[in-house]
């Protein structure tokens, strides 16, 4: 007893008990209330949803029967290719004497009906004069005419000769097949001449339709094995059934006991003068809700255990991180800036620990910046001096070599060294990205001078600058030389012999358009498409790097509406157009 009394007097036990009660009472009340409300809402929603789905299904079924009713009326309307209907058609003479329907051979008419819908499997026509059978089928098996229930099919047509007859789902046993079909039938009545009380029936049309069409409708309902679905006529005769125990063409009788534990949905199918009847088991339908109730009760028990554990951990560990932080603060106070709090949570105390770590890091960075900044600055100044010395050393060396070539009367080598020196000055200059058109053309001519000498004047550079292009307009530095180099390496050289590169500049649509033409080997359609796709992709290519870099530079600096485009014709040549905004030294115009 003393142990229990001591345990109960513990502040830890009282805190844990209070924490558990305060947490569990609202949790249980809220769970029970939410479960009842949610269960009722889900049940009602499920019932309404099933009702809507069954209504939509009955609408589809009615359309299904209506569509094939319209197909049987082709004997009267004649709405098919190759025939224009006429009121004066004498169907008796057509069928009995000429074996025609609507002035079309019966076989051709049946084939038209057969292929008017993908779900029609077979079409038959029985002539009333002598009961001669005509048929067309998509079946690969032969027709067993002796097995056809012609007399059974004709009975409802004789009772109601003016109306469509629909026969319940049955096997195509007359093809030695277990394929399920629905048969539609209509009399062909001769409506020429005087109308009589008894219609003049000259033949009967029968259409076998694949019952799998209805299966596809019913699969959308996702019914369980124990659920039932029936398509009934006005006399409750079964035309189609999902239940394997119910036979088609039988009468469905339901009692009140059948509805125990089931939900029943019924919707009219006007074309059958019947209904769609669906009975769904409540147990299978609401089984997830039962599982949810069990899950909620389990969750309440788990939450109780978790709350008790949390109360214990919270009371024991609340002070531990605070003491740990005080110890680290004492170490920092003594000058140890390499200390960090390694483990901390995401609560307020964890945020405080994170802030402490950040404070120590920034303090250390500040000290490093204060002592090292001056050394880094001096190193940067030294590197800048080195970068200035290297180009001047290179220029001076090239100038010495050029003067030596002049002294030895080798003027061509001297000119090549001068052109190379000019190119290096242009490339190494760390100035602005934008240069004048004239500067870019001068650099291009220096480059081409070396090309002409290298290839013994077999390659020519021509410039065509429109009169309205000011040579002081600004252009991206080093944007033309890579394109011209591509034209030489991949266009003119593979072709062999002499070649030329033309660079034209003109103003088009408020833009500066620069086009580089070559009369080289050209590019095939497949390779051209691959090159255009490479330009549009953001990733770096494995080849044509120069062209891709120029394109990306223009788009990134000038905007998405500018850039590079390629056109080519194999064995004729290639043109590459670059577009820039019209700019002078002040800025865009």
**Residues sharing a CB contact under 8 Å with residue 281, sequence separation 6 or more, in sequence order:** 224, 226, 227, 261, 262
Tell how strand 434-436 and strand 262-269 pair up: unpaired
**What integer pLDDT is reported at residue 265 of this predicted model?**
84
Determine contact, residues 470/584, Cβ cutoff 8 Å: yes
3-state DSSP assignment of residue 76:
helix
Q: What does the DSSP 8-state code read for residue 583?
A: B
- At residue 574, φ and ψ (nearest 5 deg) are -135, 145
Burial class (CB in 10 A: 0-12, 13-18, 19+), 376: exposed
Task: Write out the two tokens for 537.
Answer: 């992709």
Name residues of the chain where pLDDT drops below 70: 1-24, 27, 78-88, 193-196, 243-250, 253-260, 286-287, 289, 304, 307-308, 311-312, 314-322, 337, 343-349, 368-414, 418-419, 421-432, 539-545, 586-589
pLDDT per residue as tens digits for the range 410-423: 666 667 776 676 66
**CATH number of 461-581, picked from 3.30.565.10, 3.40.1440.10, 1.10.1200.10, 3.40.50.2300:** 3.30.565.10
CB atoms within 10 A of CB 89: 19
Sign for the pseudo-dihedral over CA of 18, 21, 24, 25 = negative
**3-state secondary structure at position 504:** strand
- pLDDT for 432 equals 66
Rg of the chain over Cα atoms, rounded to whole angstroms, equals 46
What's the pTM value of the predicted model, to 2 decimals?
0.46
CATH of domain 73-214: 3.30.450.20
The pair of structure tokens assigned to 161 is: 């000769």
- HSE-up of 408 (CA within 13 Å, CB side)? 9
Indicate the Cα dihedral angle 252, 258, 264, 268, nearest 10°: 20
Structure tokens at 402: 């050029």
Domain ranges in the chain? 73-214, 461-581
538 touches 560 (CB < 8 A): no
**What is the structure's pLDDT at 86?**
52
Number of Cβ atoms within 10 Å of the Cβ of 388: 11
Q: What is the pLDDT of residue 383?
A: 47
pLDDT digits 0-9 by tens, 366-382: 776 665 555 555 554 44
How many Å from the N-terminal Cα to the C-terminal Cα in the chain? 97
């Amino acid at each position: 007893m003393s142990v229990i009394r001591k345990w109960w007097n513990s502040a830890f036990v009282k805190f844990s008990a209070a924490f558990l009660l305060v947490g569990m009472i609202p949790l249980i009340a809220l769970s029970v209330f939410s479960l009842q409300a949610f269960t009722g809402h889900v049940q009602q929603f499920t019932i309404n949803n099933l009702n809507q789905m069954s209504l939509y299904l009955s609408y589809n079924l009615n359309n299904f029967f209506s569509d094939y009713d319209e197909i049987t009326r082709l004997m009267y309307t004649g709405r098919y290719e190759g025939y224009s209907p006429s009121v004066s058609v004498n169907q008796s003479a057509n069928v009995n004497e000429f074996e025609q329907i609507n002035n079309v051979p019966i076989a051709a008419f049946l084939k038209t009906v057969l292929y008017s819908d993908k779900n029609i499997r077979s079409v038959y026509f029985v002539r009333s004069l002598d009961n001669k059978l005509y048929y067309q089928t998509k079946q690969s098996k032969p027709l067993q005419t002796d097995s056809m229930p012609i007399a059974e099919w004709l009975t409802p047509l004789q009772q109601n000769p003016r109306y469509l007859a629909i026969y319940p789902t049955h096997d195509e046993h007359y093809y030695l097949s277990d394929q399920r079909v629905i048969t539609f039938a209509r009399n062909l009545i001769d409506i020429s001449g005087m109308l009589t009380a008894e219609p003049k029936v000259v033949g009967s049309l029968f259409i076998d339709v694949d019952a799998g069409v209805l299966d596809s409708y019913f699969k959308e309902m996702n019914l369980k094995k124990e659920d039932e679905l029936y398509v009934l006529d006005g006399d409750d005769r079964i035309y189609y059934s999902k239940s394997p125990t119910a036979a088609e063409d039988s009468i469905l009788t339901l009692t009140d006991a059948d509805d125990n534990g089931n939900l029943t949905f019924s919707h009219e199918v006007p074309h059958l003068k019947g209904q769609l009847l669906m009975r769904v088991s409540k147990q299978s339908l609401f089984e997830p809700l039962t599982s949810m109730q069990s899950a909620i009760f389990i969750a309440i028990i788990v939450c109780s255990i978790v709350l008790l554990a949390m109360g214990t951990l919270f009371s024991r560990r609340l002070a531990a991180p605070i003491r740990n932080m005080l110890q680290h603060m004492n170490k920092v106070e003594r000058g140890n800036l390499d200390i960090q709090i390694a483990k901390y949570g995401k609560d307020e105390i964890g945020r405080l620990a994170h802030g402490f770590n950040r404070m120590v890091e920034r303090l250390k960075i500040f000290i490093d910046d204060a002592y090292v900044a001056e050394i880094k600055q001096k190193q940067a100044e030294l590197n800048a001096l080195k970068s200035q010395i290297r180009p001047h050393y290179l220029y001076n060396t090239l100038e010495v070599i050029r003067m030596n070539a002049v002294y030895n009367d080798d003027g061509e080598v001297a000119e090549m060294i001068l052109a190379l020196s000019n190119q290096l000055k242009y490339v190494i200059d760390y100035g602005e990205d934008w240069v004048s058109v004239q500067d870019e053309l001068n650099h291009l001519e220096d480059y081409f001078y070396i090309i002409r000498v290298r290839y013994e004047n077999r390659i020519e550079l021509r410039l065509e600058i429109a009169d309205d292009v000011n040579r002081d307009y600004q252009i991206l530095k080093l944007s033309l030389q890579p394109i011209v180099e591509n034209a030489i390496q991949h266009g003119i050289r593979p072709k062999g012999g002499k070649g030329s590169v033309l660079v034209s500049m003109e103003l088009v649509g408020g833009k500066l358009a620069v086009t580089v033409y070559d009369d080289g080997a050209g590019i095939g359609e497949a390779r051209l498409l691959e090159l255009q796709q490479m330009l549009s992709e953001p990733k770096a290519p494995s080849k044509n790097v120069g062209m891709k870099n120029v394109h990306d530079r223009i788009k990134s600096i000038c905007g998405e509406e500018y850039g590079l485009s390629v056109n080519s014709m194999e064995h004729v040549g290639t043109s590459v157009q670059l577009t820039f905004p019209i700019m002078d030294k002040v800025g865009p115009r």
